Chains A and B, each alone.
Chain A
Amino acid sequence: DIQLTQSPSFLSASVGDRVTITCRASQGISSYLAWYQQKPGKAPKVLIYAASTLQSGVPSRFTGSGSGTEFTLTISSLQPEDFATYYCQQLNSYPITFGQGTRLEIK
C-alpha cells in the first residue's frame, strides 16, 4: 500500500495567515492526488484534484502543487470557515489511501 504522511498533523494559525500543508507519498504517484476538507460531523469535501486542479466552486485561495512523492496544499489567506481537518488522498494505485489528516485550528 502507498503510505501518505501529512505534516504538520496539527497547525494553529490566525485569520489572514498563509498556511501550507505537506503530503509525502511512500512511492511516486505522478499527479494522482486529491485534497479534502472535513468539518466536525460533516462529510469530507474535495478541494483539489489531480494535484493542482481546483474543484468547481472552491475559493481560489486554495492551491495545490507537486508531483511524484511531494505535494502541498496552500491556503493564501485563512478565513474563519477554513478551520477544519485536511486530508490528502492518493488515487494512483489500489488500495486508495488517505493521509492521517492535518487539523487546522484558530490561534
Chain B
Amino acid sequence: QVQLQESGPGLVRPSQTLSLTCTVSGGSINSGDYYWTWIRQPPGKGLEWIGYIYYSGTTQYNPSLMSRLTISIDTSKNQFSLKLRSVTAADTAVYYCARALRSDWQQDYWGQGTLVTVS
C-alpha cells in the first residue's frame, strides 16, 4: 500500500521560503508511471493544483506560482519537495502531496496534508 507523508514547518514568516518534503513509502518514486504532485487548499476554500515532477526531473508548474516555485525530487530517498519563495498570508493553506497516474492523470494516493501558516 502506497503512503505519502508531508513534512516541514507549520509556520513561515512573510517574505520567507516555504519548504515541504513528501516521503513516499510502499512503492518507488523512481517510476515512469506516475507524476508526483503538490496541491493546496486554503482554510475553508477549494483545491489549487501547484505542480508536479516526474521521476526524470521534468516539472510542470501552475503559472500563477511559477515565478516563486521549485519542485525537486530525490529518488535515492524516495522523496520529492516543494519550495515556495517570498510567501504572503495568501499562501496559508493545507498542502497535500499526491501521486498522479501517468495513464489517466488522476491523483490516486494522497498524503494526509499539512497546514502551513504564513504569519
Contacts and interface: CB of A to CB of B under 8 A. Distances in A.
A28 interface: no
A96 B110 contact: no
Given A43-B111, A43-B113, A46-B106, A98 B47 contact: yes
Interface centre among B46, B63, B106, B112 (most CB of A within 10 A): B106
A101 B104 contact: no
A24 to B, nearest CB: 16
B49 A97 contact: yes
Interface centre among A32, A36, A53, A96 (most CB of B within 10 A): A96
Main secondary structure of the interface of A (DSSP, over half): loop
Contacts of B63: 94-95
Contacts, number: 55
A44 B49 contact: no
A44 B107 contact: yes
Interface residues of A, number: 23
A21 B20 CA distance: 34
A55 B106 contact: yes
22 contacts: A32-B105, A34-B105, A34-B106, A34-B107, A36-B47, A36-B107, A43-B98, A43-B111, A43-B112, A44-B96, A46-B106, A49-B104, A49-B106, A55-B106, A91-B104, A91-B106, A95-B49, A95-B63, A96-B49, A100-B46, A101-B46, A101-B47
Interface of A: 32, 34, 36, 42-46, 49-50, 53, 55, 87, 89, 91, 94-101
Given A32-B105, A46-B106, A91-B106, 19 more contacts: A34-B107, A36-B47, A43-B98, A43-B113, A44-B47, A44-B107, A45-B110, A46-B107, A49-B105, A50-B104, A87-B46, A87-B47, A91-B104, A95-B63, A95-B64, A96-B49, A98-B48, A98-B49, A101-B47
